[in-house]
Homo-oligomer: A and B are copies of this chain.
Amino acid sequence: MQSSLTLYPLPNYSFGTKAPQLDEDQSVAARQARHMSDYARAGMRKTVEAVLLVHEHGHPHVLMLQVANSYFRLPGDYLKPGEDYVTGLKRALSEKLAPPLDPNDPISTNTQHVDWDVAELLGTWWRPHFDSYMYPYIPPHITKPKEEKRIYVIQLPDKHLLSVPKNLKLVAIPLFELHENAGRYGPQLSTLPNLLGRFQFVMG
């Protein structure tokens, strides 16, 4: 009944860079306006994010993207129309973290398609309105949530080249740093240690 994940040491992975990937929205107001127009056209937004785990000295670390030396986020994306969560997550991870298709063309945004091993669903967050509040359940009296976000955990291979858009940093944050640290990491990232508690970690 207990699922297991194999974690490899951080130095097993190598990190390159690739063309920058800028946010589509330049402000909170612009993001909200786009969400409203997307919702009017296509209904509830579906978002998918991934937890990639490594270990240092046997303690699990989560790979996160750091934006402009300030906030942290998991790699992921909104689903395209008709895309399912797992397919969309594999596409998003390849866009965000796979090596460029042609290493001699470093400004290309074409990336290799990696068949990421999507292991298990970790958690779900719901956005009832077009504001910033999300909840791990659909709040009472909400019949039409505006966004559903699913967070999956990935089983990484024992070695891998990850290529990071130049405007972002990829950092490995230990579980003990995230735990009960919503002030720095927000309510979603700070509760990842709780969501991961049910797994048996095998240190590879």
Contact = CB atoms under 8 A, between A and B. Distances in A.
Contact of A197 (B124, B196, B198): B124
**Copies of this chain held together in the complex:** 2
A82 B40 CA distance: 58
Q: Using C-beta atoms within 8 Å of the partner chain, give the interface range for chain A.
A: 20 to 34
B179 A136 contact: yes
Contacts of A136: 175, 179, 193-194, 196-197
A132 to B, nearest CB: 14
A1 B121 contact: yes
A86 interface: yes
Contacts of A198: 121-124, 195
Closest 4 CB pairs of A and B: A136-B197, A124-B197, A123-B197, A121-B198
29 contacts: A1-B86, A1-B118, A1-B120, A1-B121, A1-B152, A3-B121, A57-B140, A58-B140, A59-B140, A60-B137, A121-B198, A122-B198, A123-B195, A123-B198, A135-B193, A136-B179, A136-B193, A136-B196, A137-B175, A137-B176, A137-B193, A137-B196, A137-B197, A140-B176, A180-B187, A191-B191, A194-B194, A194-B195, A195-B198
Interface of A: 1-3, 57-60, 86, 118, 120-125, 135-137, 139-140, 152, 174-176, 179-180, 187, 191, 193-198
